[in-house]
Amino acid sequence: MPEPYAPDLNLALIGNGAIAALVDPQGRINWCCWPRLDGDPIFHALLGGARDDGYCSVALDGQVSAVQRYLPNTPMLETILRDGDGGEVRVIDFCPRFRQYGRMFCPPMLVRRMEPVCGTPRIKLKLRPGFDYGAQHPQPSAGSNHLRYAGSEFAVRATTNLPLSYIVHEQSFVLLLPGTIVLSPDEPLNTAPDALFSHFHGETLAYWHNWVTDLNVPFDWQEAVIRAAITLKLCTYEDTGGVVAALTTSIPEAPGSGRNWDYRFCWLRDSFFTIAALNRLSATRTMEHYLRFVLNAVRWSEFNEIPPLFPIAPGRSTEEMIVPHLPGFCGDGPVRIGNAAVGQRQNDAYGAIILSLAQLFLDRRLAVQGDVALYRSLCALGKVAERVAFEPDAGIWEFRGRARVHSFSATMCWVALSRLALIAHSVGCDEEARDWAARAAKLRSEIMARIVTREGWISAVLDAEVLDASVLILPEIGFIAPDAPEFLATLDVVEARLMRGGFVLRYEDPDDFGLPETAFLLCSFWYVGALALAGRREQALVMFERILAHRNHVGLLSEDLAPGGAGKPARLWGNFPQTYSHVGLILCAMRLSRSWEEGLWRAS
């Protein structure tokens, strides 16, 4: 029997805004959804199965090492494979993205290039896509220069100038000249694979270099910030502007926890923070596309209460179900598709929407500006936010077995009212602006009276004493001053009770699945940001560097971290790459970095 494939999260991401793929350090593509970010994973080895399905690999006979890196300032990946006889092959993986005919060209297409560097290396290619979440693994049908793999709903085509017989029979052959495989929809290519590689490679390289050049990066930690920004960009679906929370499903938050969720949806809360981070880097086009997504997703005249998440485009069901054909990451199932959180009440959604769309009224860089009609639509949301501020919900952590009046949700309802005051003023409705401001002040006063505990720290639940890292975000949204006594006391309690191995847990009490076991990386970033805002810069710097040290080999982060200890190494867990984690990295770097004036002009 084939040996089970046991992956980890040392994975590199390639993509183009239509599809994305994850590649392990040996150059094995073991995750890629098709034909869009939330589609059927034609490469699904990341979630188990035997070693003989759901991946695309290239290996050398007698291979002894592999080294992997990104081409600088791009999501284009280079893997160098070496054998024991001096043979060396360079593998380049990317998905084409560039402007063509006045619009963005980013098809569902994956380009894999193999180039002999030295010696006479023998390579073996295995191309084994699957369909219907591992239920189907069809044999290829061969054309003159391509292999066709057909599922029940779509087919993919691998066009190549390499010998098909060796690929079909998985026999090794000497790579004397460069070869290219182009995985694409089932349509003939009108260009030879090598010529297509040369054109697409050059154009894609230029696109990403230009995109990065336009970023407003901090002086310190530039490479980490650029990699995080590119990652967030690749989690954005170009066609609609929707942003997935992560590109995978069902990677457990902790081993054996059962906390396996499908993150290939657009959460309004998560996406706002993603767009805010990119906006601070001056990636305004991504923000514009997301605002378009919100305007299309939320139909103002039809809602009673708004769901917390949406598909990134029409045609995808949110119904949660378990996939029977995939055993799970390292055999740790279940594998779920869809997400039942769509049916939860999460009252922070109203603040997230208004906070996002406030950009249309307040950011003069945007081509489309908010008007009175849009403001009137948002007023309806504000009234709902005011009504539900003190009603129980599932909260930011989407508890499935209980509902409470959560501090984060209540304060985001306050955000809805306070930002409506700004919006009303921007469209000349000054009397209404004063009314919204007064209502926001009244709401804040009642929230504050109910979230401060007897010991003086901020509880995550009104009228209770519940410690939860979500309250660390309150200064960031302007609800409380970072040096307020209540917030400083909260920082101390978080350090004393939520810190594990130098990282921050989400909360300390059991939830639907028991006690938390891993640190939630965003909470650790929130703690860093809160420390910096409170004037504890040196403590913030130490923790920020600690988090950066736990990125994987190409600088990416998942959702959770098992800090290690007692002889066990730290290990990333949770869906990957997690947008929230990269948002936290960017915002903390922007806050902690020296200015360019300090770093460059005053360097002497």
Chain mean pLDDT for the chain: 94
Give Cβ neighbours of residue 437 (< 8 Å, ≥ 6 apart).
417, 418, 421
How does residue 563 score in pLDDT terms, banded at 50, 70 and 90? Answer: confident
Distance, CA of 79 to CA of 61 (rounded, Å):
16
Closest CA to 229 of 281, 267, 265, 191: 281
pLDDT score of 6: 61
pLDDT score of 302: 54
Average pLDDT in the 38-59 region? 90
CA 89 to chain centre: 31
CB atoms under 10 Å from CB of 155, counted, come to: 16
Distance, CA of 447 to CA of 8 (rounded, Å):
43
Residue 604 has pLDDT above 60, yes or no: no
Beta strands 519-520 and 560-562: pairing type? antiparallel
- Tell me which DSSP letter residue 332 carries: B
Which of 35-39, 74-78, 174-178, 254-258 is predicted with the least confidence, judged by mean pLDDT? 254-258
Average pLDDT in the 482-511 region? 94
How does residue 568 score in pLDDT terms, banded at 50, 70 and 90? Answer: confident
Task: Name 20's bridge partners.
Answer: 15
Question: 115 and 178 in contact (C-beta within 8 Å)?
Answer: yes
User: Beta strands of 307-443 (E only): which ranges?
Assistant: 309-310, 321-323, 335-337
494, containing H or E segment? helix 485-497
Residue 566 has pLDDT above 80, yes or no: no
Which of 114-123, 129-138, 249-258, 363-372 is predicted with the least confidence, judged by mean pLDDT? 363-372
pLDDT score of 301: 47
Structure confidence by residue, pLDDT tens digits, 202-237:
999 999 999 999 999 999 999 999 999 999 999 999
Closest CA to 75 of 23, 116, 117, 26: 23
**Chain position carrying tokens 């593509």:** 29
Which phi-psi region, left, alpha or beta, contains residue 466 (left: φ > 0; alpha: ψ -120 to 50)?
Answer: beta
The rounded percent of the chain whose pLDDT value lies above 90 is 84
Structure confidence by residue, pLDDT tens digits, 271-292:
888 888 988 898 888 888 998 9
Distance, CA of 428 to CA of 43 (rounded, Å):
53
1, containing H or E segment? none
Distance, CA of 146 to CA of 254 (rounded, Å):
41
Question: 407 and 346 in contact (C-beta within 8 Å)?
Answer: no
Distance, CA of 33 to CA of 12 (rounded, Å):
15
pLDDT score of 1: 35
Task: Name 141's bridge partners.
Answer: 148
pLDDT score of 326: 95
- Identity of residue 192: A
Beta strands 560-562 and 571-573: pairing type? antiparallel
pLDDT score of 304: 66
